[in-house]
Chains A and B, each alone.
Chain A
Amino acid sequence: MQYSEIMVRYGELSTKGKNKKQFIRQLGHNVRHVLHDFPKVETFPRHDRLHVVLNGENSDKVIDRLKQVFGIENFSPSIKVDKDINQAKQVALKLLNQQYHAGMTFKIDARRQDKHFPLDTYGVDNALGSYLIDHIPGLKAKMKNPDITIRTEVRLNGIFISSKTIDGAGGLPVGTGGRATMMLSGGIDSPVATYLGMKRGVRIDMVHFYSPPYTSQQALNKAKELTAKLSVYSGKINFIQVPFTKIQETIKEKVPEGYLMTIQRRLMLRLTAAITLKRHCKGIFTGESLGQVASQTLESMVAINDVTNLPVLRPLLSMDKTEIIKIARKIGTYKLSILPYEDCCTIFTPPAPKTKPRLDNSRKFEKFIDVDGLMKDALDNMKVTTIRPGDEFLNSNQDVFSELL
């Protein structure tokens, strides 16, 4: 069915009092970004609803994208007809037929903004209801809990008819909760942590460390592809890639084996903290889950977290791996995450990293390397790109191939 417009209802926003206006503006902005590759779509955020006018774009694809935008409670795809009750009747019949099975009940729910329309709401209810009952044998009307509700709105610019309400993703519009950075490795956990952060309205900038030639171009592309997957929830995401080769080599050379991992993580967090402050973000998200690996014990967290007093937010802290995987599957990042490209967390790992590193030792060993110089070098060479829904990185040769296939 080709719809002409989608009516979006807000979720938690309606409780936000004076901030409501800002929230709606942000949601409108996000929806526009999420639908950036549908050039004909127009969005109109209003105080009660947000209207997405399709202008002929494929409604199924737009619906799929909208399902994932945080801050949407639910939405109804609707068909616009001229202000002519006969046209409305036919469309209502078509919509009903799509969902109708023998024995189902229905009701018409009419509203009228245009008070000059000759029929009032009862008139519209009556006209459409009786038309449907005449044309579908056995159809019964029911006012309380009908199987199908045909919503009809007579507005100044036409009549809008819809028969379905589709659930949205809930949560808050990304951007209303401020900005933070995310340490994205490319594993299973960090995309899930990103998702959970965004769900509460935080705009996330991805920070990804890469170490060529120890890590491959594919590992970097995989992180970008994951970012593209996650961008459907917010519209777009800034991706910051930070070169880490030199730091890792220096640490490997100068730091005792047991503390390799701890010092590496301290440097990663130092760099992320510097980026966070520079970009006016307010916190750092990580995909850490307590006790999962050596760097994620409480002792390790003390030793690593020591380098910054920015809040380090860990949405997965108390989750089991199975719970995390479940969410990863739901948001579609799992299959990407398990692609076997080494990332910089897995190279240079000592056979037995300290699970209980000591803070004083960590501080001491870090002094063996030129922290400031190495950091400056890495920050000078970092690169920021903007990633949007639908961008592809793992199959970068697609254009060449499209001619072959």
Chain B
Amino acid sequence: MIYFDNSATTKINSGVLDTYNKVSQNIWGNPSSLHQFGSEAHNLLTQSRMQIAKLLNVSPGEILFTSGGTEGDNWAIKGTAMIKRKFGNHIITTSVEHAAVHNPVEQLKKLGFEITYLPVDKNGRVSVEDLKKAIRPTTILVSIMAVNNEIGTIEPVKAIGELLKKYPKITYHIDAIQGVAKGLENIIFNDRVDLVSFSGHKFHAPRGTGFNYKRDGKKIAPLMAGGGQERGLRSGTENLPGIAAMAKAFRLVMTNEDEKVRHQRQIKSEIFNHIKKFPNVIIFSKNDDTFAPHILCFAIKGVRGETVVHAFEKYGIYISTTSACSSRDQSVTSTLSSMHVDSSIAEDAVRISLDENNTIEEAKKFNQVFDQLYQQFSKLS
């Protein structure tokens, strides 16, 4: 099997699963319990938090555990809207966000918030200039993704941070779910960002894990109110096995990050340079450092994305029509339509997404299969 759908989810690392099992069996006390068994669990929770904070060069109090990316995004957006509603009701985001950002702001719209969706250029990128124009005195939140999940565009989150320094009252949220261990930490953790969302299962941790970075002192309302875990900001008994496993997965994925990024770029180039030679192929992602190293989105003109996915599947190669979360949805992908790609071509788009465990050999095998399928498809048109 060749798995090229790592933006949908990644395979859990076996050592990480080991941690999950050991913690589930041996350290299953409730971290809130006062007794020794509970405080052992509490210590592990603290250690996990410290490990993640250290890898990101932030302080442990700034890491808050969640159930994953969707919760992280919902919390950042709704939590900010709730606590800042008396200061304003305007939220700025982009037209290419993942549904986990798009739909929460749509919900807020129904409650009376005003939303500006920033347009993107032909590379799926927003412009800082457009953002500047969109800012109003009532703007309370700017939410931007670090890496587009459909075509891999790296958004100008650092330049936006620079701009927002002039607007200290606006909360700045970055959705970094596709941007973990892709060599982007220094642009994501720019010195202006307030909130950053992460999802565990995108970096070989178990499902149902994730964390938000929240700048020290930044206020946010809890989405989950209850027993007061995570300093009252995210109640619910901590998913300790998942959290410890995620801390381990995060350490593993961040080790030799530069090397891993280079490796993924190499594989991407291998495929990119091969498929670009075909006249009916349209590539939406670029093969340079303005795009993430692991995502390659392209279309074979006249062949629906779904057909392409199934054709590759026959050869044991798993790719995806743009976003896995919306794969079963017939509507045309939002990033490509925001880029004004013709809907007949957008329907044909497929996405390859890599991780550090993929190999050049797999890319070569993919290219071979691609040649065969391309010929087969040409007969159709």
Please list the residues of chain A having a beta carbon within 8 angstroms of any beta carbon in chain B: 216-218, 394-398, 401, 404-405
Distance in angstroms between the alpha carbons of A401 and B240 in the assembled complex:
13
Minimum C-beta distance from B21 to chain A (A): 10
What are 6 A-B interface contacts by the 8 Å CB criterion?
A394-B46, A395-B47, A404-B23, A404-B244, A405-B19, A405-B251
Most buried by A among B19, B43, B46: B43
- Measured CB to CB, the nearest residue on chain A to B50 is A395
- Measured CB to CB, the nearest residue on chain B to A217 is B36
Q: Are A405 and B39 in contact (CB under 8 A)?
A: no
Distance in angstroms between the alpha carbons of A396 and B36 in the assembled complex:
12
Q: Are A404 and B248 in contact (CB under 8 A)?
A: yes
Q: Are A394 and B43 in contact (CB under 8 A)?
A: yes
Q: Are B22 and A404 in contact (CB under 8 A)?
A: yes
| B40-95 interface (Cβ within 8 A of A) | 40, 43-44, 46-48, 51
- Measured CB to CB, the nearest residue on chain B to A218 is B39
Minimum C-beta distance from A390 to chain B (A): 14
B295 at the interface (CB under 8 A from A): no
Distance in angstroms between the alpha carbons of A323 and B156 in the assembled complex:
43
Distance in angstroms between the alpha carbons of A217 and B43 in the assembled complex:
14
Q: Are B47 and A405 in contact (CB under 8 A)?
A: yes
Contacts of B40 in A (CB 8 A): 397
B205 at the interface (CB under 8 A from A): no
Q: Are A405 and B247 in contact (CB under 8 A)?
A: yes
Q: Are A404 and B44 in contact (CB under 8 A)?
A: yes
Q: Which of A217, A396, A398, A405 contacts B248 (CB 8 A)?
A: A405
Minimum C-beta distance from B54 to chain A (A): 11
Q: Are A405 and B36 in contact (CB under 8 A)?
A: no
- Measured CB to CB, the nearest residue on chain B to A395 is B43
- Measured CB to CB, the nearest residue on chain A to B250 is A405
Distance in angstroms between the alpha carbons of A218 and B36 in the assembled complex:
9
9 cross-chain pairs, A with B, having the tightest CB-CB distances, nearest first: A401-B47, A404-B19, A395-B43, A405-B247, A405-B248, A397-B43, A405-B51, A401-B44, A404-B244
- Measured CB to CB, the nearest residue on chain B to A216 is B34
Q: Are A397 and B36 in contact (CB under 8 A)?
A: no
Contacts of A405 in B (CB 8 A): 19, 47-48, 51, 244, 247-248, 251
Contacts of B248 in A (CB 8 A): 404-405
- Measured CB to CB, the nearest residue on chain A to B61 is A335
Distance in angstroms between the alpha carbons of A394 and B44 in the assembled complex:
11
Contacts of A397 in B (CB 8 A): 40, 43-44
Distance in angstroms between the alpha carbons of A395 and B42 in the assembled complex:
9
| B1-56 interface (Cβ within 8 A of A) | 19, 22-23, 34, 36, 39-40, 43-44, 46-48, 51
Minimum C-beta distance from B65 to chain A (A): 14
Distance in angstroms between the alpha carbons of A331 and B287 in the assembled complex:
49
Distance in angstroms between the alpha carbons of A159 and B247 in the assembled complex:
45
- Measured CB to CB, the nearest residue on chain A to B44 is A401
Contacts of A396 in B (CB 8 A): 43
Distance in angstroms between the alpha carbons of A405 and B15 in the assembled complex:
10
Contacts of A398 in B (CB 8 A): 47
Q: Which of A216, A218, A395, A404 contacts B46 (CB 8 A)?
A: A395
Minimum C-beta distance from A229 to chain B (A): 15
Contacts of A217 in B (CB 8 A): 36
Distance in angstroms between the alpha carbons of A405 and B36 in the assembled complex:
20
Sample of 15 more A-B contacts, CB < 8 Å, known A395-B47, A396-B43:
A394-B43, A397-B40, A397-B44, A398-B47, A401-B44, A404-B19, A404-B23, A404-B248, A405-B19, A405-B47, A405-B48, A405-B244, A405-B247, A405-B248, A405-B251
Distance in angstroms between the alpha carbons of A401 and B47 in the assembled complex:
8
Most buried by B among A218, A398, A401, A405: A405
Contacts of B247 in A (CB 8 A): 405
Contacts of B46 in A (CB 8 A): 394-395
Distance in angstroms between the alpha carbons of A397 and B36 in the assembled complex:
11
Distance in angstroms between the alpha carbons of A217 and B47 in the assembled complex:
19
Distance in angstroms between the alpha carbons of A352 and B6 in the assembled complex:
65
Contacts of A401 in B (CB 8 A): 43-44, 47, 244
Minimum C-beta distance from B210 to chain A (A): 17
Minimum C-beta distance from B56 to chain A (A): 15
Contacts of B22 in A (CB 8 A): 404
Minimum C-beta distance from B45 to chain A (A): 10
Distance in angstroms between the alpha carbons of A45 and B44 in the assembled complex:
42
Contacts of A404 in B (CB 8 A): 19, 22-23, 44, 244, 248
Minimum C-beta distance from A393 to chain B (A): 11
- Measured CB to CB, the nearest residue on chain A to B244 is A404
Distance in angstroms between the alpha carbons of A397 and B44 in the assembled complex:
8
Minimum C-beta distance from A399 to chain B (A): 11
Distance in angstroms between the alpha carbons of A61 and B36 in the assembled complex:
34
Distance in angstroms between the alpha carbons of A398 and B44 in the assembled complex:
8
- Measured CB to CB, the nearest residue on chain A to B60 is A335
Contacts of B47 in A (CB 8 A): 395, 398, 401, 405
- Measured CB to CB, the nearest residue on chain A to B247 is A405
Most buried by A among B36, B44, B46, B248: B44
Distance in angstroms between the alpha carbons of A134 and B371 in the assembled complex:
57
| B242-262 interface (Cβ within 8 A of A) | 244, 247-248, 251
Minimum C-beta distance from A224 to chain B (A): 15
Contacts of B34 in A (CB 8 A): 216
Minimum C-beta distance from A254 to chain B (A): 30
- Measured CB to CB, the nearest residue on chain B to A221 is B39
Contacts of A216 in B (CB 8 A): 34
Minimum C-beta distance from B379 to chain A (A): 55
Distance in angstroms between the alpha carbons of A216 and B36 in the assembled complex:
10
Contacts of B23 in A (CB 8 A): 404
- Measured CB to CB, the nearest residue on chain A to B246 is A405
Distance in angstroms between the alpha carbons of A217 and B38 in the assembled complex:
13
Distance in angstroms between the alpha carbons of A216 and B33 in the assembled complex:
13
Minimum C-beta distance from B96 to chain A (A): 35
Distance in angstroms between the alpha carbons of A404 and B47 in the assembled complex:
10
Minimum C-beta distance from A76 to chain B (A): 26
Minimum C-beta distance from B206 to chain A (A): 14
Contacts of B48 in A (CB 8 A): 405
Minimum C-beta distance from B296 to chain A (A): 33
Distance in angstroms between the alpha carbons of A405 and B251 in the assembled complex:
8
Contacts of A395 in B (CB 8 A): 43, 46-47
Minimum C-beta distance from B222 to chain A (A): 20
Distance in angstroms between the alpha carbons of A65 and B19 in the assembled complex:
34
Distance in angstroms between the alpha carbons of A398 and B248 in the assembled complex:
14
- Measured CB to CB, the nearest residue on chain B to A396 is B43
Distance in angstroms between the alpha carbons of A216 and B35 in the assembled complex:
9
Contacts of B39 in A (CB 8 A): 218
Distance in angstroms between the alpha carbons of A394 and B40 in the assembled complex:
10
Minimum C-beta distance from A177 to chain B (A): 34
Distance in angstroms between the alpha carbons of A216 and B38 in the assembled complex:
13
Distance in angstroms between the alpha carbons of A217 and B42 in the assembled complex:
14
- Measured CB to CB, the nearest residue on chain A to B59 is A335
Most buried by B among A218, A395, A404: A404
Minimum C-beta distance from A78 to chain B (A): 26
- Measured CB to CB, the nearest residue on chain A to B23 is A404
Hey, what's the 0/1 contact readout for B251-288 against A, CB within 8 Å counting as 1?
A: 10000000000000000000000000000000000000
Minimum C-beta distance from A140 to chain B (A): 29
